[in-house]
């Protein structure tokens, strides 16, 4: 959580990556972008490069100051490297620090993954450059990049776990992620009846998250992950009814909520499970168990 005091910060990396900033965990990290940037910037190590997608001026200013103080080279998305969709195609061109690769297939759904693709490749460029002189295996080239992208997966992030009905699993555990998911659903599921299965933790801006997640839902199911930080379903239901006129049902058990949503959907409908990584995890466990049982029967 955060960065400066996160357990993983005991590791000395070859490159630090700070993707973006959003307001969350305010009790611990602060309630401004500037304060959160200071916590995230705590992962920057002396004389180790930094790659970032931070765009807010106040946050980027803090990241720059920390990088300068620690003699760390800073590389910024859209300034030092970028990726753009190729004209009239579904492929992308990466314009990097020292390389340019064309006709790349973005392996993960969602427009926002274009930024993550750029950040990952920029980080790889820096690592490969460092070790290339002493190890011939570190040859950063188009073939290697395309091979890596072909096997890239991210469970619980716009993950399609069923096709009929279409079931999408997405952690969407903070406001920024909720905005991204809401935009994706509204642009890709226009012709489908959508059921949202939602559970949110009590330290999240649940009202603003619901405002972004509910507009395209025809049915809303409120659930609750098995963790003491879960927001009470009655609170979520009351908020949901302020942002949507669609019917709202409470089914506290995540697995039961998912089963109910699927059984009450037609093959051409869609179900999206979101709002918390804990909810996503319990739903993922259900699908894995179902797959195991199906394999046993076959």
The pLDDT score that the predictor gives to residue 275 is: 94
Edge-to-edge order in the sheet of strand 82-85: 82-85, 92-95, 100-104
pLDDT (average), residues 50-61: 95
Burial degree of 215 (CB within 10 A; 0-12, 13-18, 19+): middle
Options 3.40.50.920, 3.90.190.20, 3.40.50.720, 3.30.1490.20; CATH of 159-297: 3.90.190.20
Say yes or no to pLDDT of 30 above 90. Answer: no
Average of per-residue pLDDT across 244-256:
95
User: What CATH number has the domain spanning 7-150?
Assistant: 3.40.1190.10
Q: 74: helix, coil or strand? A: strand
Domain with CATH 3.90.190.20 in the chain: 159-297
pLDDT number for residue 284:
92
Task: Report d(CA 164, CA 152) in Å as an integer.
Answer: 24
Q: Is the pLDDT of residue 28 over 80?
A: no
Q: Can you tell me the mean pLDDT for 167-181?
A: 92
Measured CA to CA, the distance from residue 222 to residue 249 in angstroms comes to 6
Write out the residue limits of the CATH 3.40.1190.10 domain(s) in the chain.
Answer: 7-150
pLDDT for the residue numbered 154: 87
pLDDT value at residue 264? 95
The reported pLDDT for the residue numbered 296 is 64
Q: What is the pLDDT, as a whole number, of residue 185?
A: 93
**Distance between CA atoms of residues 92 and 190, nearest Å:** 25
Integer angstrom CA distances of residue 249 from 195, 210, 233, 241 = 11, 15, 9, 11
Q: What one-character DSSP code corresponds to residue 231?
A: P
* Nearest alpha-carbon partner for 49 in 98, 9, 16, 79: 16
Q: What is the mean pLDDT of residues 112-125?
A: 94
Average pLDDT score over residue span 145-162: 91
Please give the DSSP secondary-structure letter assigned to residue 88: T
pLDDT score of 294 more than 70: no
- Angle between helices 57-69 and 33-40 in degrees, nearest 10: 30
Half-sphere exposure of 61 (CA within 13 A, CB side): 6
pLDDT at 298: 58
**H or E segment and range at residue 196:** strand 194-198
- Does the pLDDT of residue 206 top 90, yes or no? yes
More confident residue, 162 or 21: 162
* The dihedral sign for the CA sequence 73, 74, 80, 81: positive
- What value does the mean pLDDT of the chain take? 92
Within 10 A of 56 (CB to CB), how many other CB atoms are there? 17
pLDDT at residue 27 above 80?
Answer: no
The pLDDT assigned to 147 comes to 94
At 121 the pLDDT is 97
Residue 170 to residue 108: CA distance in whole angstroms: 12
Between strands 16-18 and 50-52, the pairing is: parallel
Q: Phi, psi (5° rounding) for residue 70?
A: -105, 15
With 90 as the cut, is the pLDDT of residue 190 above it?
no
CA–CA gap between residue 105 and residue 100 (Å, rounded): 14
Name the percent of the chain lying above pLDDT 70.
97
> Residue 42: which of 80, 73, 8 has the closest Cα?
8
pLDDT more than 90, % of the chain: 77
At 295 the pLDDT is: 64
Calculate mean pLDDT across residues 61-79: 96
């Amino acid at each position: 959580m955060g960065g400066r005091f996160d357990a993983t910060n005991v590791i000395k990396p070859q490159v630090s990556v700070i993707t973006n900033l959003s307001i969350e965990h305010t009790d611990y990290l602060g309630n401004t972008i500037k304060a959160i940037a200071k916590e995230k910037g705590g992962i920057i190590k002396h004389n180790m490069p930094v790659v970032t997608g931070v765009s807010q001026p106040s946050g980027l200013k803090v990241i720059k100051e920390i990088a300068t103080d620690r003699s760390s080279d800073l590389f910024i998305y859209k300034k030092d490297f970028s990726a753009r969709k190729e004209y009239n195609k579904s492929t992308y061109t990466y314009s990097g620090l020292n390389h340019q690769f064309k006709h790349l297939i973005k392996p993960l759904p969602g427009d926002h993954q274009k930024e993550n693709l750029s950040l990952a490749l920029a980080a790889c460029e820096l690592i490969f450059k460092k070790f290339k002189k002493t190890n011939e295996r570190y040859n950063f080239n188009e073939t290697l990049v395309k091979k890596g992208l072909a096997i890239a997966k991210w469970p619980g992030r716009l993950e399609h776990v069923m096709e009929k009905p279409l079931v999408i699993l997405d952690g969407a555990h903070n406001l920024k992620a909720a905005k991204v998911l809401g935009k994706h659903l509204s642009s890709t599921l226009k012709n489908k009846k959508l059921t949202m299965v939602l559970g949110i933790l009590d330290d999240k801006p649940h009202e603003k998250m619901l405002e972004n997640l509910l507009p395209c839902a025809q049915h809303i199911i409120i659930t609750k992950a098995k963790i003491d930080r879960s927001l009470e379903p009655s609170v979520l239901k009351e908020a949901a009814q302020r942002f949507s006129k669609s019917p709202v049902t409470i089914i506290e058990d995540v697995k039961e909520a998912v089963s109910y949503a699927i059984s009450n959907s037609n093959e051409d409908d869609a179900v999206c499970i979101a709002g918390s990584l804990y909810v996503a995890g319990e739903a993922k466990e259900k699908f894995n168990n179902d797959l195991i049982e199906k394999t046993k029967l076959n």
